[in-house]
Structure 1
Amino acid sequence: MPVSTVSIPVGQWLISAEGTRWWFDSGSLALDFATTGTMTGSVTGSGIVARADRLHSPDDLSSWLRERYPVAIGVARTRDLFDAISLRNAISRMAMRASAGRAPSPADIDVVNLYAATPDVPPSIAGGTRQVGRSVHTVPQALSTIARDAVDLFAPANAGRIRVCSGDDCGMVYLDTSRAATRRWCSMQRCGNRAKVRAHRARKRPTAGDVAA
């Protein structure tokens, strides 16, 4: 499977509409970033997942990036927020189209390629004796790293692995990184468990014959 140019942990805590905090492993840094928005085109259901936009200000963007990156990231500006939302929405639309087996829009590809072509947060090996490069990386560098991860995400190797959760009222999009490509749920602790509960109740429900007897 493709890997990111920088070792950045994937997955994040989300808050559902009913206020429950839960862990969502999207399988991709780029999809994690897309999840900060409404995921345009996704299913809107009964509130399993809160889809409110999480990037309302440059400070919101700075906070999200600093939580993810293992290196220091500078302060986001208004222009950075504009760029971040542009990149995020392009990734979102591409992911939704990929989950439906549809080709991405050339305009969205252009957006991702544009940001991927700029300098990113360079990889490094811990344990050296000298500081090489910036001690604090810029927000545009962080966005470039996300865009490069998106290039990996939408590579042919992942065809058919970008999917929508099978929960009827969910709609979360993830990259199935399992070896057998059998993942069905955004989270086994949420939608997977709810499906098991519903199936168990259905098996226990009396049939018409049982009632007549």
Structure 2
Amino acid sequence: MTRRLWIVTHADVVIDPAVPVTDWGLSARGAARHVALARTWAARRPAPDAIWSSAERKAREGAAALAQAFGMAVRIDEDLGENDRSATGYIPEPEFSRVAAAFFARPEESVRGWERAVDAQARIVGAVEKAAAMTQGAGDIAIVTHGGVSTLLLCARLGLGITEALEPGIAGGGGICALEGRHLARGWRPIEAEDALDDAPATPA
């Protein structure tokens, strides 16, 4: 049986243009949403065999909420981080959405100095495969990461070209889906949703 990988994107953050994006933390709402996920998980599913996280602060904080529910430690891998946008730093909306759309539309180009989508995809796919290989057992694995690279991961696992169409599409971030091999076992749901961890048709929310 193929083990289930739960892909969790961090929830709402405190946006501070004076702070590097990788150092942004969760907002009070974002933290509460991750606590809600942890409570639902503890009530409905066995503890995961491992909880992995990007090294970025917002992802680590989200992973910590889940780890606390099970008395586990979080395993960190920098390669689970979001696509590198340090060339531009913070970009406000609506410009950010335009640049992000170009990132997906022209995956073999460095859009405004950002990491290329093809490179970010290879990195996240490799990191997820490594996490699975390094985790003993056959139970679930939780991977707390970011919306952009999660989209790239799904494109690769489902055998699709790079597209924005598989984005979580959840306001404020904080989405969860499940992969079993090359099968999307659970489409995107908000992490605080009552059915976030249920088995259901793999249709994005």
TM-score above 0.5:
no
Q: TM-score, normalised by structure 2?
A: 0.30
Q: TM-score, normalised by structure 1?
A: 0.29
User: Which of the pair has the greater relative contact order for Cα pairs under 8 Å at 6+ separation?
Assistant: 2
